[in-house]
């Protein structure tokens, strides 16, 4: 097989994932992005189910797509209803797409217990619906819902449903593992049975409830299906759908099936992240091929091997899918990890015994609760501080924080909120500045006091804002004496960076992360000057 049809259902099946809701504009943008990737068919939604999808198909007519064909999705006619009178089929016609996908039952138990009709009527629904749309000049794909479960329970009826769709004019019958619990060998067995019973071209649509959606899709391709349905990033109801971001590169790089060009494959990671942004979902770092962690190396032996031979611990060249290798620093690191990371981030490499001292320091600090694989700004500072000529932009003399509830009358309505006040002394160029500030909490007060002290020396510091603050208790059994780790994420509107602090005192841990955040930014700015 030289190629297969790629069919994306992110905008319909993927949108059924919890906490995902695409606007009409989101959907239009995603269609255009998938077109750039040469996805053959893009399922835009179910026009008969909600006003948003109806509006989408009306606006999508103005899209100028270079490759992708837009598909409207719907179901077979209702029980006891004529096809020409069915509202769902009418909505599909009004969507004005050249291709429609109809879903119908292929499991006898679904017919009798969910549709609450006869097996014969279900076959008539399939025939009538496909024949009606074909007579209107549309290309029709048929999604045989619950096919594999139906084949296990009543193979004769499941095969009959497929044959009925083919006879009625379906261009492709898509076999669906709707509940996501079928094994690859069962997929292959059922496909072979369908191929013997009917010559109709086949597709595959799998869900990931047993973590097998991608494996099942690839097994189906190997068995001879011509169309693979899935979603970007594996979005979908319950555990998700087959992930096209894994299927596409595997088809091309592992199975020799040129479903996209080399150039389009190189866009895959960017498209994956773009769609996660529009979905308002964090981009999952452990996604194969496209995730930030897909080619991330932490073990010292791995990094050492990677520096000598880039394929030593990577199954493909990350650049092929638009990704890149990363090295994270931890107590598992070796000298090679530090050298690799320093080169990657354009940092000075410690010389001689200094690199061993840095490595020893990292292992010691990680043992105390610091974590540098998620706080690369703090790691940058470790390397810079190892340089003999390094001068920090400021130094702490001391600070004191007061949190009180009763000494002053409440200032915000009738709520007696605790007052936090921080007093701080810092030294800049041998000048000591002593200042104080109030805040919503002790960390906020400390942040405000530090900024107040430094702004007279570094006025651009006002651009920095703290955008995330996380505290983790590292040893719960120690109670209030437990070691805590604080991770702070900061931004200046152009770049985000993370820093870390750890201590049995949450305020000290917060100070360490906070001070690193500001020091990192000041050093970066000095380097640009």
The rounded mean pLDDT for the chain is: 88
Q: What is the mean pLDDT of residues 410-430?
A: 78
| Residue 405: predicted pLDDT | 74
Q: What is the mean pLDDT of residues 516-527?
A: 89
Q: How confident is the model at residue 334 (pLDDT cuts 50, 70, 90)?
A: low
Q: How confident is the model at residue 413 (pLDDT cuts 50, 70, 90)?
A: low
Q: What is the mean pLDDT of residues 225-250?
A: 97
What are 259-316's pLDDT values in tens digits?
Answer: 999 999 999 999 999 999 899 888 898 999 999 878 776 655 665 666 666 777 788 9
Q: What is the mean pLDDT of residues 493-515?
A: 91
Q: What is the mean pLDDT of residues 367-395?
A: 80
Is pLDDT above 70 for 400?
yes
Q: How confident is the model at residue 406 (pLDDT cuts 50, 70, 90)?
A: low
Can you give the pTM of this predicted structure?
A: 0.72
Q: Which residue has the higher pLDDT, 67 or 367?
A: 67
Is pLDDT above 70 for 376?
yes
Q: What is the mean pLDDT of residues 316-331?
A: 76
| Residue 111: predicted pLDDT | 97
| Residue 303: predicted pLDDT | 54
Q: Report the C-alpha gap between 200 and 172 in whole angstroms.
A: 6
Task: Give the ranges where 208-259 is alpha helix by DSSP (H).
Answer: 213-223, 244-249
Q: How confident is the model at residue 384 (pLDDT cuts 50, 70, 90)?
A: confident
| Residue 332: predicted pLDDT | 45
Residues recorded for the chain = 529
Virtual torsion, Cα 82, 85, 86, 92, nearest 10 deg = 120
- HSE-CB for 339 with a 13 A CA cutoff: 15
N-term to C-term CA, the chain:
57
Domains with residue ranges and CATH for the chain: 5-260 (3.20.20.70), 296-365 (no CATH), 394-457 (3.30.160)
Q: What is the mean pLDDT of residues 147-159?
A: 97
Q: Which residue has the higher pLDDT, 469 or 180?
A: 180
| Residue 328: predicted pLDDT | 55
SS3 109: helix
- Which tokens is 132 given? 């009606």
What are 34-93's pLDDT values in tens digits?
Answer: 999 999 999 999 997 889 999 999 999 999 999 999 999 999 999 999 999 999 999 999
Nearest Cα residue to 489 out of 511, 476, 470: 470
What are 160-191's pLDDT values in tens digits?
Answer: 999 999 999 999 999 999 999 999 999 999 99
Q: What is the mean pLDDT of residues 355-365?
A: 68
Is pLDDT above 60 for 318?
yes
Q: What is the mean pLDDT of residues 142-169?
A: 97
Q: Which residue has the higher pLDDT, 459 or 404?
A: 459
| Residue 331: predicted pLDDT | 45
Contacts 24+ apart (CB under 8 A), 184-188: 184/212, 184/215, 184/216, 184/219, 185/219, 186/148, 186/152, 187/148, 187/216, 187/219, 187/220, 187/223, 188/219, 188/220, 188/222, 188/223
| Residue 330: predicted pLDDT | 46
- Which tokens is 218 given? 């690839």
| Residue 529: predicted pLDDT | 45
> How large is the angle between the packed helices 184-197 and 155-168, nearest 10 degrees?
50
Q: Diameter of the chain by CA atoms?
A: 90
| Residue 370: predicted pLDDT | 73
| Residue 115: predicted pLDDT | 95
DSSP readout, 275-324?
A: HHHHTT----TT-TTTSTTTTEE-SHHHHHHHHH-TTTT-SS-GGGGT--
């Amino acid at each position: 097989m030289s190629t297969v049809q790629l069919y994306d259902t992110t905008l319909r099946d993927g949108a059924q994932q919890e906490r995902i809701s695409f606007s009409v504009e989101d959907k239009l943008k995603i269609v255009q992005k998938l077109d750039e990737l040469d996805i053959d068919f893009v399922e835009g939604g179910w026009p008969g189910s909600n006003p948003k999808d109806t509006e989408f198909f009306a606006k999508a007519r103005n899209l100028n797509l270079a490759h992708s064909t837009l598909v409207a999705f719907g179901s077979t006619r209702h029980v006891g209803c004529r096809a020409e009178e069915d509202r769902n089929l009418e909505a599909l016609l009004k969507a004005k797409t050249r291709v429609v996908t109809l879903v119908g039952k292929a499991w006898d138990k679904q017919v009798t217990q969910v549709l609450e009709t006869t097996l014969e009527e279900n076959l008539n629904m399939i025939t009538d619906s496909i024949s009606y749309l074909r007579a209107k000049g549309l290309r029709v794909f048929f999604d045989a819902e619950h096919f594999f479960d139906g084949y296990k329970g009543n193979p004769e009826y499941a095969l009959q449903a497929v044959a009925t769709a083919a006879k009625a004019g379906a261009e492709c019958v898509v076999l669906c593992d709707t509940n996501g619990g079928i094994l690859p060998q069962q997929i292959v067995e059922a496909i072979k049975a369908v191929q013997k019973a009917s010559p109709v071209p086949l597709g595959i649509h799998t869900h990931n409830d047993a973590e097998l959606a991608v494996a099942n899709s690839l097994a189906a391709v190997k068995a001879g299906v011509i169309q693979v349905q899935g979603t970007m990033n594996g979005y979908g109801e319950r555990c998700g759908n087959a992930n096209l971001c894994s299927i596409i590169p595997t088809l091309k790089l592992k199975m020799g099936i040129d479903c996209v060009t080399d150039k389009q494959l190189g866009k895959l990671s960017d498209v994956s992240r773009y769609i996660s942004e529009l979905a308002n979902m964090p981009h999952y770092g452990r996604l194969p091929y496209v995730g930030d962690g897909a080619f991330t190396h932490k073990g010292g032996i791995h990094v050492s091997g990677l520096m000598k031979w880039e394929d030593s611990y990577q199954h493909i060249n990350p650049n092929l899918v638009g990704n890149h290798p990363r090295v994270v620093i931890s107590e598992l690191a070796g000298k090679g990890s530090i050298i690799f990371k320093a080169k990657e981030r354009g940092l000075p490499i410690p010389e001689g015994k200094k690199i061993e001292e840095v490595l020893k320091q990292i292992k010691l600090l990680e043992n105390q609760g610091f974590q540098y694989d998620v706080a690369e700004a703090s790691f940058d500072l470790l390397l810079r501080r190892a340089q003999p000529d390094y001068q920090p932009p400021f130094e702490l003399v001391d600070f004191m924080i007061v949190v009180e509830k009763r000494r002053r009358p409440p200032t915000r309505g009738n709520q007696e909120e605790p007052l936090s006040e921080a007093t701080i002394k810092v030294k800049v160029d041998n000048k000591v500045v002593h200042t104080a500030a109030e805040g919503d909490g002790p960390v906020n007060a400390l942040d405000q006091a530090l900024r107040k002290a430094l702004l007279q020396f570094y006025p651009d510091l006002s651009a920095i804002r703290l955008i995330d603050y996380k505290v983790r208790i590292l040893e719960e059994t120690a109670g209030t004496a437990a070691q805590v780790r604080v991770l702070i994420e900061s931004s200046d509107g152009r770049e985000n960076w993370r820093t870390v602090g750890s201590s049995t005192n949450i305020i000290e841990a917060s100070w360490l992360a906070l001070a690193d955040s500001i020091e990192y930014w000041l050093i970066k700015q000095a380097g640009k000057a």
